[in-house]
Amino acid sequence: MPVLPVLTYPHPFLKTKVAESDPKDPQLLSVLRDMMDTMDHHAGCVGLAAPQLGHAYRCLIVDVSRSARAEENHGLLKLVNPVILESSQWKVSREGCLSFPDLLANVKRAQKIRFRALDGDLNPFEMVSSNFEAVAIQHELDHLDGILFLDRIRSSKDLFERRKAPSQPL
C-alpha cells in the first residue's frame, strides 16, 4: 500500500468535519491500510486520522505501544465512526501533530474515556481507554470534526516550537 502525504496546516480540508462512514463502502478498508502504511512511515507517530490524508472518511488509527509514554494500551486500534460516550480525569499534557510538524502544544484532555466504534473488521465494539492512549484517540477524533489541537490551547503560552534533530555531519 502507498505511503500518502500528510496534509499540513493551513490546508482547508483539515478544518472540515467528515460525515459518518458507510461500513459497506468498498474503499474504507483500503483507506485504513493506507493510513497504517503512512503512520508506519513516520517515526514516533502514534495516530492518524483519515482527513489528514485528504480522505473524507470518519476513521482513525492509534497505536501508542510505539511510544515510551504508553503505560497501558490496546495495541493497534482501527476505529471507524468512533463516538466518545464518557470522559473523565482531565489533565493538561504536551501534544504534537503530523499536520503541524514544527509545533507542540499543551492541551487539556480526558485521561479516561469510554467510546464505541467499528473495529478494523467493521464489527461494533465498546472500550475504555486511559492515559496516553485516551489522549491520542481524542486528538485523532478531533481531526474527524475539523478540530485541530491548536483550537484547544488556552493561550499562546501553551504553544512551543518542536526541537529539530541535529544535522548529521557529512
* CATH number given to 12-161: 3.90.45.10
How confident is residue 166, by pLDDT bands cut at 50, 70 and 90? low
What pLDDT does 1 receive?
A: 58
Q: Residue 121 and residue 140: Cα distance in Å, rounded?
A: 19
pLDDT band at 71; cut points 50, 70, 90: confident
Could you give the residue ranges of the DSSP H alpha helices within 5-89? Answer: 28-41
Q: What is the pLDDT of residue 2?
A: 85
Q: Is 11 helix (H, G, I), strand (E, B) or coil?
A: coil
User: How do residues 112-123 score in pLDDT, each as one tens digit?
Assistant: 999 999 999 999
4 grid coordinates:
500518502
In angstroms, the CA 54 to CA 38 distance is 12
* In the chain, domain spans: 12-161
- Give the model confidence (pLDDT) of 80-107 as tens digits: 999 999 999 999 999 999 999 999 999 9
Which residues are the active-site residues? 140
Q: What angle do CA 49, 54, 58 make, to 5 degrees?
A: 45
